[in-house]
Chain A
């Protein structure tokens, strides 16, 4: 079945860039997403990318997709303490289908 993997933890200093990585196995994945979860809150959609794209940029966020290697990354420029949260990578075959999530990466931003 489908599988999505992420590293568990990332620590960066405020102002540095953060790069969160994700790998997936389903070659039929069409949509890939990044969600942010703050303590006690639901999931906030940060950005998403279609599988026919290599890169998407949205303000401080840059998503890179290597479809050949099934590797997705999220780069946060000028990371702030408010960016501290758990970041989930997810994939689906269609936007209206169920999502398959990775286990989440906890980002800690040190002042």
Chain B
């Protein structure tokens, strides 16, 4: 596709449930990033994938958060046992190696 695509655009879930968020990067982009944006705040880095290298997970806030990426394509961010403080917009970005990051529109997660 032309840009980074994320789905769903909105997700409402109940506290304690698991959620999966999907990111389709720009075709050919080897790097993929997940960020979290809490209401009224800037973006916090979560995790970074680059090719077949081990991902940089240094930004994941707890072991309830995990992410996978298949090759250089789709990535899923999974949040287990969601808590209200997980409510945020989750943004995905992709880039060529050592190039500018391009962002998707994000998934707005609301945990009730």
Residues of A participating in the B interface, judged by any CB pair closer than 8 Å: 4, 33, 35, 40-45, 48, 88, 90, 94-104
| 29 contacts across the A-B interface (CB closer than 8 A) | A41-B105, A42-B4, A42-B103, A42-B104, A42-B105, A42-B106, A43-B91, A43-B103, A45-B100, A45-B102, A48-B100, A88-B43, A94-B98, A95-B100, A96-B95, A96-B98, A98-B45, A98-B48, A98-B56, A99-B43, A99-B45, A99-B101, A100-B45, A101-B35, A101-B44, A102-B42, A103-B40, A104-B41, A104-B42
CA distance A49 to B91 in the complex (A): 23
Interface residues on B, range: 20 to 34
Q: Chain A residues near B106 (CB, 8 Å)?
A: 42
Given A4, A35, A95, which contacts B95 in the complex, CB threshold below 8 Å? A95
| A94 contacts across to B, CB distance below 8 A | 98
- Kindly provide the distance from the CB of A106 to the nearest chain B CB, expressed in whole angstroms: 9
Docked-complex contact A4 and B42, CB < 8 angstroms? yes
Alpha-carbon distance A35/B101, docked complex (angstroms): 11
Report if A95-B105 is in contact (Cβ < 8 Å); known contacts: A43-B91, A103-B41, A104-B42.
Answer: no
- A-B contact sample (16 more), CB < 8 A, given A95-B95, A102-B42: A33-B100, A40-B105, A42-B4, A42-B91, A43-B91, A43-B93, A45-B100, A45-B102, A90-B43, A95-B98, A95-B99, A98-B48, A98-B56, A98-B59, A99-B35, A103-B40
